[in-house]
Amino acid sequence: MSKTISFHLQKGGVGKTTISGTLASQSALSGYSTLLVDVDPQGNASSWFYDGELQWELSDVLQGKCFIQEAIVEIATIPNLFMLPTFGIGGGLKQYAETKIADEPYVLQDLVKELSQSFDRIILDLSPGLGKLERSALIASDEIITPMTPEVFSLDGLEIFIDELEKIKKNLRSPVKHDKIIINSFDERIRQHKDIFEAALSGSFTVFKIPVDPVFRKSQERNIAPQLYKMRGRGLKPVTIEAIKTIDSSIWR
């Protein structure tokens, strides 16, 4: 059965796109047909994975301007990886979210339902914030996993998110799971990072860590998945590869 996951915290820059793109790549590399849906008007996931000219985007599909199949692009470097993109510049998703989505809160859920017939796994990359677009993506998910950076403001952000999610859950047509956290950009050598990890563990969440690794940024600059990045024979740190595999093997069950 197909599963849809969103990686979300309303806070900006915690690694939502990096984790969405990395885990979508990992899933595809494991042989599962995987779709990354760019639900962020910034279009970061799209510009990371797709270097060419795009004709259609998510907001066109949502408004019936094109067929779903016309907008989905294949990611050439990774077999089994597909994307439903959003244009960063000149795109229509921001305007759609501001003017139309209030009347259609289940539009993404309906779309995901249709997509789940064609893909084993779907990952939604969301924009920061908790507006109507993000809410509509959250209710379209089977599971929400929260990425956070190891800093106290992220812990505050998690509390706010849990509170907001309780309210969102009242509008759900089907249940959404939220029991995992990923502490991103983790550095074992920094005391504060360990303290934040301990604090996160004290809740009822399963807590994962992704180490700080410059290959994430470099792979985004090169338009490839981090798993494929190599510079003078070096790519992701072994500890990062291990973390990605651990998370990948836990989240799709």
**Site residues (CB under 5 A) for Mg ion, limited to 40-59:** 44
**Contact pick of 115, 210, 225, 236 for ligand ATP (by CB under 6 A):** 210
Least Å distance between CB 5 and ligand ATP? 15
**Contact pick of 161, 185, 200, 227 for ligand ATP (by CB under 6 A):** 185
Asked if residue 46 binds ligand ATP (CB under 6 A), the reply is no
Q: Residue 120 or 226: which CB sits closer to ligand ATP?
A: 226
Residue 90 DSSP one-character state: S
Q: Which stretch, 16-24, 51-59, 193-201, 215-223, contacts Mg ion (CB under 5 A)?
A: 16-24
Instruction: Give, to the nearest 10 degrees, the angle between helix 107-115 and helix 132-139.
Output: 40
Complete edge-to-edge strand list for the sheet that includes strand 206-211: 73-74, 81-84, 34-39, 121-126, 3-7, 143-148, 177-186, 206-211
Strand-pairing partners, residue 39, are 126
Q: Which stretch, 71-79, 111-119, 212-220, 225-233, contacts ligand ATP (CB under 6 A)?
A: 212-220
Q: Residue 185: which of Mg ion, ligand ATP, none does it interact with, CB under 5 to 8 A by kind?
A: ligand ATP
Q: Residue 26: which of ligand ATP, Mg ion, none does it interact with, CB under 5 to 8 A by kind?
A: none
Q: What is the DSSP string of 159-225?
A: HHHHHHHHHHGGG-SS--EEEEEEEEEE-TT-HHHHHHHHHHHTSSSEEEEEE--THHHHHHHTTS-
Strands 177-186 and 73-74, by their bridges, are: unpaired
Q: Residue 17 or 146: which CB sits closer to Mg ion?
A: 17
Least Å distance between CB 219 and Mg ion? 15
| Distant-in-sequence contacts of 161-169, Cβ < 8 A, 24+ apart | 161/8, 161/9, 161/10, 161/130, 164/10, 164/130, 165/138, 168/135, 168/138, 168/139
Give 3-state DSSP helix, strand, coil % of the chain, rounded to 5.
Answer: 45, 20, 40
- Binding track, positions 204-223, relative to Mg ion; x by CB under 5 A: --------------------
Q: Residue 212: which of Mg ion, ligand ATP, none does it interact with, CB under 5 to 8 A by kind?
A: ligand ATP
Element (H, E) at 130: none
**Contact pick of 13, 114, 231, 245 for ligand ATP (by CB under 6 A):** 13
Asked if residue 79 binds ligand ATP (CB under 6 A), the reply is no
Instruction: Yes or no: say if 207 and 200 are a contact pair by the CB < 8 Å rule.
Output: yes
Q: Residue 18 or 227: which CB sits closer to ligand ATP?
A: 18
Question: Where does this chain bind ligand ATP (CB under 6 A)?
Answer: 12-18, 40, 44, 127-128, 184-185, 210, 212-213, 216-217, 220
Question: Where does this chain bind Mg ion (CB under 5 A)?
Answer: 16-17, 44
